[in-house]
Chain A
Amino acid sequence: MDTFLQQIINGLTAGSVYAVVALGYTMVYGIIQLINFAHGEVVMIGAMVAFTVINALVPYGLPPLAIVLIGAGCAVPICMLVGYGMEKLAYRPLRHAPRLAPLITAIGVSIILQHVALLIWSRNVLAFPQIIPSRTYMVGGAAITTIQIAILAICFGLMAALAILIYRTPLGTAMRATAQNQQVAGLMGIDINRVIAATFVIGAGLGAVAGVLYGTYYGLAQYTMGSILGLKAFSAAVLGGIGNIPGAMLGGVLLGIVEALGAGYIGDFTDLCQYGWLAGSISACDGGGHFVLFGSNYQDVFAFLVLILVLVFRPSGLLGERVGDRA
């Protein structure tokens, strides 16, 4: 029970970060049907910028929370600029091109961003300074840290703010209209280019925050972190139904939990020694040994597995209406 609850808490924390990243994918997809491959790299750049700023500020003896906030405060506008730039330079000219073209451009942009980051921040794994004093609380036999609580609060706060933005403001209405039908929205007096650019900028800003949270949570950042995180977040977006904002939130949280539970239990499930009829024939099992087929090092496989299963059995995702094979 303890492990179970603990994995749920860990999964919820990671999942809420996935959800915030997934929002960036799903918003862009919803509005121009583009998988923005480079979104993961935006998240990475957010983490990196925050790392630099936080490291630079540590010696000045500011309160830790202020340092992290300033770090995030620098990361968000820089990422927004990156998001705006790539939309303007790489995607906008291709808006009416066949689908394959912007997708390949997106891969190119992602390679460029990754290697620019490599030039600036080197190949090494950067260790985030652990400045926030972490206190641990016990909840029903499982531990939850202050950082986890903060991440959950920030992520759910962001999701709520985004929901308000999308469903309660003129910009949100314009975004939803553009997503439904660009041409008609344009005829109604909506500046399509502005709305699409805004979508990219908002998505990038969310990504930046997610990057900072991810960095402080795991304590690490590297120029390659964006691709795997991006893939997971994309899987989350597909799980919830791509193009669907509440879906991305749900998908992210679910994916985090599935991953944590999977990593927590796969070792036990695939330990052949616990199956009596097999244990007799495996010498490693003698004297309480283990013969684990798949350990928690397969954690990253779960996201892809979820992605493939969803696409096969319910391509529209949990909450989505769009279908995967729409021509």
Chain B
Amino acid sequence: MTNWRARPAVRWTGVFLVAFSLAVLPFALAQVGTTWVRITDYAILYILLALGLNIVVGFAGLLDLGYIAFYAVGAYTYALLASPHFNLHLPFWIILPIGAAIAALFGVLLGAPTLKLRGDYLAIVTLGFGEIVRLFLNNLSQPINITSGPQGIARIDPFHIGDFSFSSYQTIGGLTFSGPIKYYYLLLLVMLGVIVINLRLQDSRIGRAWEAIREDEIAARAMGINTRNLKLLAFAMGASFGGIAGGMFSAIQAFISPESFILVESVMVVSMVVLGGMGNIWGVILGALLLSFIPEVLRWTVEPIQQALFGRMLIEPEVIRMLLFGLAMVLIMLFRPAGLLPSSVRKRELTQETL
């Protein structure tokens, strides 16, 4: 443990092992059931969301409770441009950047009027913003049908490059690739990209400026940091990651409705960031993984246990999941306020008593 970083052989073996297990994982999961590959896909989507939100909350210290709105913007952008709804079928590599850009625009739209606000006000305004976006999605079916309202948009195109579709079965070299497995590799690729971007951002000039703003905004401004632009940048970047994740969600799911973008989802992403450790990329990933998989494990264990013990279902797994979320948020704040894997700076900050 002491200096494994200094020993290239050990280090590269580790990297190879992780890479190998990530590459084999979907096939191992497919043995249990394709559902689990799908669950892993959604878990990676949540990692993308949590990493995006981490830029806003963890790096820049702006609590955003309406983050799911950007996910929704990305998802609807993809759905509208690649479905029979408007009879548009643009390829995904064109739509995803558009979705990211529109989400970033929404991020700036939200950020611009709220920049002056302090933490808790900001939280409420972003929460309101998320609800407004959802209300519009729900109601923009009249007088011109844009979003189909509560019915949502169905038959959304899967990703495809030429004839290669990401949603169909295919056998390559004796291995059967199902839709979720193909998406898994794509998502893995995107996730690695996002992780690299995040790691590089954190130590960059911008990342350090964000940290300065988070620690003490007035001092940061006095040091010549353009706090307004940097906060807007944090909003825009966080939002664009959300937009990309939303577009992919749309394609994987093939159906979206405003139901997928309710407040609880925002809260869930926030809890992932908080639980894992705000500002620490690996912590955030851990938080996202835990909160994506624990509910699924619960779903597969709680039901049979209750059936066996009481003969019927007393508490739905969904409710247990939410109760655990709430409890986790309270307990983490009480006993481990910096998260499971705290970032070093955040830890120092949160253990210090403020006057």
A and B interact = yes
Known contacts A90-B334, A107-B65, A303-B128, then 6 further A-B pairs from the complex at CB < 8 Å, ordered by chain A residue: A34-B120, A108-B327, A119-B315, A297-B138, A305-B132, A312-B114
What are the interface flags for B302-326 relative to A under an 8 Å C-beta threshold, 1 for contact and 0 otherwise? 0000000000000100010011011
Contact stretch, chosen from A11-19, A208-216, A319-327: A319-327
Pick from B121, B124, B143, B326: contact of A115, CB below 8 A: B326
Query: Is B274 in contact with chain A by the CB < 8 A criterion?
Result: yes
Give the residues from 40 to 94 in chain A that come closer than 8 angstroms, CB to CB, to chain B.
90, 93-94
Contact stretch, chosen from B6-14, B228-236, B247-255, B347-355: B347-355
A327 touches B128 (CB 8 A): no
B119 touches A103 (CB 8 A): yes
User: In the complex, what distance in Å separates the CA atom of A254 from the CA atom of B328?
Assistant: 38
Cβ of A195: which chain B residues have Cβ within 8 Å of it? Answer: none
A94 touches B116 (CB 8 A): no
User: In the complex, what distance in Å separates the CA atom of A104 from the CA atom of B326?
Assistant: 10
Query: Is A158 in contact with chain B by the CB < 8 A criterion?
Result: no
What are the interface flags for B105-141 relative to A under an 8 Å C-beta threshold, 1 for contact and 0 otherwise? 0000000011011111101110111011001101100
B326 touches A112 (CB 8 A): yes
Contact stretch, chosen from A171-179, A244-252, A288-296: A288-296
- Contacts A107-B329, A108-B329, A109-B330 known; A100 to B119 CB distance under 8 Å? yes
B143 touches A107 (CB 8 A): no
Q: In whole Å, how far is A64's beta carbon from the nearest beta carbon of chain B?
A: 34
A108 touches B128 (CB 8 A): no
Query: Is B265 in contact with chain A by the CB < 8 A criterion?
Result: no
A residues at B contact (CB < 8 Å): 34-35, 90, 93-94, 96-105, 107-112, 114-116, 118-119, 227-228, 231, 234-235, 238, 284, 291-295, 297-298, 300-301, 303-305, 307-308, 311-312, 315, 324-327
Query: Is B267 in contact with chain A by the CB < 8 A criterion?
Result: yes
Pick from A107, A227, A311, A327: contact of B114, CB below 8 A: A311
User: In the complex, what distance in Å separates the CA atom of A324 from the CA atom of B119?
Assistant: 9
B353 touches A96 (CB 8 A): yes
Q: In whole Å, how far is A216's beta carbon from the nearest beta carbon of chain B?
A: 26
User: In the complex, what distance in Å separates the CA atom of A101 from the CA atom of B123?
Assistant: 13
Cβ of B136: which chain A residues have Cβ within 8 Å of it? Answer: 301
Pick from A112, A231, A293, A326: contact of B143, CB below 8 A: A293
B334 touches A100 (CB 8 A): no
B333 touches A111 (CB 8 A): no
What are the interface flags for B53-79 relative to A under an 8 Å C-beta threshold, 1 for contact and 0 otherwise? 000000001010100000000000000
A311 touches B117 (CB 8 A): yes
Query: Is B263 in contact with chain A by the CB < 8 A criterion?
Result: yes
Q: In whole Å, how far is B48's beta carbon from the nearest beta carbon of chain A?
A: 22
Query: Is B217 in contact with chain A by the CB < 8 A criterion?
Result: yes
Q: In whole Å, how far is B186's beta carbon from the nearest beta carbon of chain A?
A: 33
Pick from A235, A303, A325: contact of B117, CB below 8 A: A325
User: Could you list 28 examples of A-B contacts with CB < 8 Å?
Assistant: A34-B120, A90-B334, A96-B354, A97-B350, A97-B353, A98-B337, A98-B350, A101-B337, A104-B270, A104-B274, A104-B333, A105-B329, A105-B333, A107-B329, A108-B329, A108-B330, A111-B264, A112-B323, A115-B323, A115-B326, A235-B128, A292-B142, A292-B143, A301-B135, A304-B132, A307-B128, A315-B116, A327-B217
